[in-house]
Amino acid sequence: MSTQTFAELGVSPLLAQSLAKNGFTTPFAVQDLAIPDVLDGLDVLVKSPTGSGKTLAFAIPLIDRIEASGPTPAALVLAPTRELAAQIVECATPLAAARGMRIAVVHGGVGIEQQARKARRAHLVVATPGRLLDLLGRGSLSLKNVRHLVLDEADRMLDMGFRPDVERIVAQTPRERQTLFFSATLDGEVGRLASKFTSDAVRHTYEPAAEATGVIEHRFVGVSPAGKLDAVVGEIRADRGGRTLVFVRTKRGADRLAKKLAGRGIQVAAMHGNKSQAQRTKALSRFDAGRIDALVATDVAARGIDVKGITRVINFDPPSDHTDYVHRVGRTGRAGADGEGVTLVLEPQAADMARIERKLDLGAQWHGAARPEHASPQARPAYRGSRRRRR
């Protein structure tokens, strides 16, 4: 937390009062770093993890800077998922209302014409890249008046393959604009994109103190095609009372597995890109509240999941590489709680999983199948049971 108040950072009295009414009296560290520079009109690069308070770090100064009587939309925030876009709008709406300004959200899963009408009148538009390009391609929305551009969780947008979409969108905004770039990393491709989109940007890094991490046990379970469903049912039932997240490769696969699990008496919901926003929100709410035994999700859809207390991650379809494995299984074992990562492995997949195990030094337990000779030695479980490893 900062030792300064929002007013001391330069925030207007009107917004400072609105923040106080909504329970925000002291800036978070990332807000302390970013707000003064954004208020000064500078381009800003911020390296900060999810959950650090970055939404208000850009929402507060942007809403303070936008002229309520000016042309619309004046500001655009790009977010990788519908869920994140909705969270940004929810957070920023009370502040915008205090200044008599409008916010609109643009994402798939809802009626496009109504979104277009609201977006044209909004001072601030929060959008996912795909649906925004749909509106731009139809001529339903113009970005010619955008003077403030925010790329939120830019690393996730690149991971999800949105770079071409983002570049096409940015090309339709004025060259004379303020650009804010928020990401968990500013290295590699993310850093190159940040340099391309910004000018003389101020760079800030916020690294919170390491949170306690629990023990994650990694298990690779050999299965046959015919026995795969029985295996996942057994794993879910063994974790009843917890929150089990099941990963599959495709949207059809998610629906198919959810239907089969329901037929076995498992309370389950599926989450993927073809679901409407209302369906996705309902599924997440039920999962978060513990009203279902398991949530079945694809990798892309799961990037919008921010649920605490996930006790078990099951890879029904193994991940494609070690990065995806860390992304998936890293959803458990947080905030000091223990967790478990279970991967169901068909015989032809064993060699690939052994390479992932060796790359990450998991020291995984292998069950029900011959253990490949080149798997990492089980005698040194560096990742499993390590409270020092940070994700």
- Find out whether 9 and 30 touch, Cβ atoms under 8 Å: no
Q: How far apart are CA 33 and CA 205, in angstroms?
A: 9
Q: For each of the domains in the chain, give its residue range(s) and CATH number, in order of start.
A: 7-205 (3.40.50.300), 216-367 (3.40.50.300)
For residue 310, give the amino acid letter.
I
Q: pLDDT truncated to tens, each residue of the chain (391 aa)? A: 556 899 999 999 999 999 988 888 889 899 999 999 999 999 999 998 766 788 999 999 999 999 999 999 999 999 998 888 988 998 899 999 999 999 999 998 788 999 999 999 999 999 999 999 999 999 999 999 999 999 998 988 887 889 999 999 999 999 999 999 999 888 888 899 999 999 999 999 987 665 555 688 999 999 999 999 999 999 999 987 789 999 999 989 999 999 999 999 999 999 887 777 678 778 888 888 889 999 999 886 666 566 778 999 999 999 988 878 888 888 888 767 888 999 999 999 999 999 999 888 888 888 875 566 555 444 333 343 333 333 3
Nearest to 301 by CA among 346, 337, 258, 238: 258
Widest CA span in the chain: 69
Q: What is the DSSP string of 8-63?
A: GGT--HHHHHHHHHTT--S--HHHHHHHHHHHTT--EEEE--TTSSHHHHHHHHHH
Residue with tokens 């076995």: 264
Q: What is the DSSP string of 282-322?
A: HHHHHHHTT-SSEEEEEHHHHTT---TT--EEEESS--SSH
> Taking the model in full, what pTM does it have?
0.66
